[in-house]
Amino acid sequence: MNNSLIRAAANDRINNVRRIIQGGANLNALDINGDTALIDVARWGRTQIAHELIRAGANVNARGVDRWTALMTAASQGRTQIVHELIRAGANVNARDNDGWTALMIAAVWGRVQVVHELIRAGANVNARNNDGSTALVEAAFRGRTQIVRELLTAGAKNLKSAYNVARNQTVRNAISNAAVRKIQTVVRKNYKRKVDAAKKIQTAVYNYLYHPNRVQRPKTIVSAGKSRYNNAVRTAKIQTTVRKYLYNKNRVLRKTYSTPR
């Protein structure tokens, strides 16, 4: 009965498969190669039979040769529909084989763009490393898979330096370089915004100290402004005197030394 299911699946006999399933066949039995029927149909692209097996309760995370799952097999062959079915049925998108490879790495190596997109959307770890320390981005860059490299970079793939070093295609190198520039720009923007926010807090603290009508609240405002050296100095009598001189002294020389608090 179990062999009958595998033979029917191999021959794409959907009606026979349904009849054998109804007869109580073991859906997770292994063939002579050590793969399940679901792994076999994922390799051959038998979408209808895969659907029937999944609906009947076949284990979508069962392991075959080299501990490959049906998802890994479908990813390697670019069977996007079957990949989608397996993910919907609860297939582990981050499962690893004996060498630490995930379905995303396998799809990246074989250039399966649509499969890569499906896996990323399903939550596959774009920065997972295999037993050799390589990632999907590095493998895709090494093989010149430009579109996949862009997909991975958009999804937040790291290890840009290693990927750039192994890339032999200039288009891939340009994509990685642009991603690195965008990453640096993002960091710079965040740091700049942080500094601007800190400066605004300092200005607000000084303004409140000088002009707030409630004298009791002035020291609290200064203390709550943070650890800025300027805020700490403003609390001392010496700086208070200097600020007052700036505001009220008609001597222009002082005004060149200090900026007006806003």
Per-residue pLDDT of the chain (262 residues; tens, 9 = 90+): 557 888 888 888 899 999 998 888 889 988 888 999 999 999 999 999 999 999 999 999 999 988 999 999 999 999 999 999 999 999 999 999 999 999 999 999 999 999 999 999 999 999 999 999 999 999 999 999 999 999 999 999 988 889 999 998 888 988 888 888 777 777 767 777 777 777 777 767 666 666 655 544 444 444 444 445 555 555 555 555 555 555 555 554 444 444 444 4
Q: 1-66 is classed in which CATH architecture?
A: Alpha Horseshoe (1.25)
Q: Let me know how long the chain is.
A: 262
Q: What per-residue confidence (pLDDT) applies to 240?
A: 54
Residue 246 CA to residue 248 CA, distance in Å, equals: 6
Token pair in block for residue 218 = 């002035």
The predicted pLDDT at position 201 comes to 74
Residue intervals of the chain classified under CATH 1.25.40.20 are: 1-66
Among positive and negative, which fits the CA dihedral 182, 183, 184, 188? positive
